[in-house]
């Protein structure tokens, strides 16, 4: 069974620079040669076998029984998207693969989408119930009539590194250079804007090239098609091993700037809060399982990241064991204020969006009050 990234620009913008499509095609070709493609959509899950007490976990979707107060009365189906080949979404991978959603009677169809911006379009079209959504995009999405809100935090810092050709030794040397991202409006684009701002630079100081996928950014660096790129673990680890220079690790040395959260459509929040509660609880249990079950989690990462390099897998696991939020408490207002201010620069209508339009903290707050996350 094989399972199937937002910045200060409007969602409808397609092109970054003339010729970016040509570069993207070349980079993706190199990427296909250097690593396998991301896994396709998972088949419908079979009923999981019982877990062996105290035994080593595998990628079969099983885990300890959930608290009855959180579990749904009967199985309910939802379609959820994961959006990037990165360890940042490990809690989602594990919640699905090790059954912490299933334990709560939540039958999740987990699918792969290329970016948060693509996911936003699918949410609006009614093709998805939720998934991993970038915080900047969440503000833009609501400004443009979006229908989903963040209900849990995944990372409240940017889990990205700015990687550069070895000849670039200082941040100021990126001016005028070709800078690889996935898409305008992606989490990688947002991280790029945060890094440039930290260095006192502006977005138009560099030439953004859209390369569609994070692994393709490394491939473009290797092919000499870009000078700088923003990537997340495990790709940044592979880039360092390949001899590229890490100019900035935003997760360790960047500002507190929320990256991605777990979103769900507003209809479920209004009409089926028990489902949303199980969604948040199962995700939190997935993060807890990720932290506790190192060997099982490494196998999940191996599957979703399509990596066989054990040292890269282990470093990715070590980083995200620290980075992932548990409890998945939503970011403080001060952090979201900056996200909103940055989003307004690209879309003035975001000024009319309130925090309540973008996020709903009650499910995490209720579960904290019940001691659910502490019990994990």
Q: Domain-by-domain residue ranges, the chain? A: 20-36+159-253, 76-156+257-375
> How much of the chain, in percent, has pLDDT values that exceed 70?
82
> In Å, how far from its chain's centre is CA 100?
19
**pLDDT for the residue numbered 295:** 97
For the chain, report the end-to-end CA distance as a whole number of angstroms. Answer: 28
* Alpha-carbon span 51 to 57, nearest angstrom: 8
Residue 127 is predicted with a pLDDT of 96
Q: By percentage, how much of the chain surpasses pLDDT 90?
A: 69
376 token code pair: 């994990």
Strand extents, DSSP E, 34-155: 76-82, 106-112, 130-134, 148-155
Kind of pairing, strands 228-231 and 130-134? Answer: unpaired
Alpha helix stretches (DSSP H) within the chain = 20-34, 90-97, 116-124, 135-143, 187-198, 214-222, 235-241, 250-253, 266-271, 273-292, 294-305, 310-323, 333-346, 355-358, 362-369, 372-375
Mean pLDDT for the chain overall: 84
Among 34-43, 60-69, 114-123, 254-263, the range with the most confident prediction by mean pLDDT is 254-263
Confidence (pLDDT) at 21: 41
Does residue 2 register a pLDDT over 50? no
The confidence score (pLDDT) of residue 52 equals 32
pLDDT of 72 reads 97
CATH 3.40.190.10 fits 20-36+159-253, yes or no: yes
Q: Do the beta carbons of residue 161 and residue 248 sit within 8 Å?
A: yes
Two structure tokens written together for 355: 């925090």
Does pLDDT of 79 surpass 90? Answer: yes
pLDDT score at 58: 40
Which whole number is the average pLDDT over 349-359? 96
Helix intervals (H) in 50-209: 90-97, 116-124, 135-143, 187-198
The token pair at 256 is 């507190």
**Mean per-residue pLDDT, 31-37:** 37
* pLDDT above 80: residue 57: no
Q: Give the confidence band of 61 by pLDDT, cuts at 50, 70, 90.
A: very low
Q: Note whether 191 and 263 are within 8 A (CB).
A: no
Q: How far apart, in whole angstroms, are the C-alpha atoms of residue 339 and residue 352?
A: 14
DSSP for 303-371, please give it. Answer: HHHT---HHHHHHHHHHHHHHS-SS-PPPPHHHHHHHHHHHHHH-GGGGG--HHHHB--HHHHHHHHTT
Structure confidence at residue 184 (pLDDT):
85
Task: Tell me the average pLDDT across 321-345.
Answer: 92
User: What is the average per-residue pLDDT within 11-31?
Assistant: 39
Q: Among 34-38, 155-159, 202-206, 286-290, which stretch is predicted with the lowest mean pLDDT?
A: 34-38
Say if CB 70 and CB 104 are below 8 A apart.
yes
pLDDT in tens, 241-298: 999 999 999 998 998 899 899 999 999 999 999 999 999 999 999 999 999 999 999 9
Q: What is the pLDDT of residues 137-194, one digit of tens each?
A: 999 999 999 999 999 999 988 999 999 999 999 999 999 999 999 988 788 998 999 9
> By C-alpha distance, which of 110, 77, 153 is closest to 360?
153
Output the CATH code of domain 76-156+257-375. 3.40.190.10
pLDDT at 64 over 70: no
What are the tokens at 322?
A: 């620290």
**Between residues 119 and 104, which one has the greater pLDDT?**
104
Alpha-carbon distances, residue 197 vs 113, 152, 220, 346 (angstroms): 28, 26, 24, 15
* Residue 40: strand, helix, or coil: coil
**Alpha-carbon span 141 to 146, nearest angstrom:** 5
3-class DSSP state of 163: strand
Return d(Cα 218, Cα 231) in angstroms, integer: 8
pLDDT at 118: 85
| Other Cβ atoms within 10 Å of 241 Cβ, number | 12
Per-residue model confidence (pLDDT) at position 59: 42
What pLDDT does residue 15 have? 36
């Amino acid at each position: 069974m094989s399972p199937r990234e937002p910045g200060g620009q409007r969602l409808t913008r397609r092109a970054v620079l003339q010729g970016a499509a040509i570069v993207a095609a070349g980079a993706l070709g190199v990427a296909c040669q250097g690593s396998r493609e991301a896994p396709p959509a998972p088949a419908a899950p079979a009923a999981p076998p019982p877990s062996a007490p105290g035994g080593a976990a595998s990628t079969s979707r099983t885990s300890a029984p959930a608290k009855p107060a959180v579990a749904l009365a009967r199985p309910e189906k939802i379609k959820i998207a994961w959006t990037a080949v990165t360890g940042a979404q490990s809690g989602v991978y594990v919640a699905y693969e090790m059954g912490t959603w299933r334990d709560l009677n939540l039958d999740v169809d987990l699918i792969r989408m290329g970016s948060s911006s693509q996911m936003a379009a699918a949410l609006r079209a009614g093709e998805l119930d939720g998934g991993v959504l970038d915080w900047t995009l969440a503000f833009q999405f609501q400004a443009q009539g979006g229908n989903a809100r963040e209900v849990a935090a995944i990372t409240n810092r940017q889990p990205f590194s700015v990687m550069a050709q070895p000849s670039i030794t200082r941040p100021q040397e990126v001016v005028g250079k070709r800078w690889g991202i996935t898409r305008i409006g992606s989490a990688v684009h947002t991280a790029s804007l945060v890094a440039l701002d930290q260095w006192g630079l502006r977005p138009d100081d560099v030439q953004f090239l859209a390369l569609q996928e994070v692994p393709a950014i490394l491939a473009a660096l290797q092919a000499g098609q870009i000078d700088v790129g923003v990537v997340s673990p495990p790709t940044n680890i592979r880039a360092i091993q390949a001899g590229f220079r890490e100019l900035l690790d935003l997760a360790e040395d960047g500002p507190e700037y929320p990256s991605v959260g777990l979103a769900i459509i507003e209809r479920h929040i209004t009409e089926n809060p028990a489902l949303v509660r199980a969604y948040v609880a199962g995700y939190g249990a997935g993060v807890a399982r990720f932290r506790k079950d190192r060997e099982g989690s490494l196998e999940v990462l191996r599957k979703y990241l399509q990596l066989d390099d054990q040292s890269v897998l282990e470093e990715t696991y070590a980083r995200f064991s620290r980075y992932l939020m548990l409890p998945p408490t939503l970011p403080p207002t001060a952090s979201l204020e900056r996200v909103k201010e940055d989003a307004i620069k690209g879309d003035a209508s975001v000024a009319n969006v309130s925090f309540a339009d973008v996020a709903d903290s009650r499910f995490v707050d209720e579960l904290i009050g019940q001691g659910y996350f502490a019990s994990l």
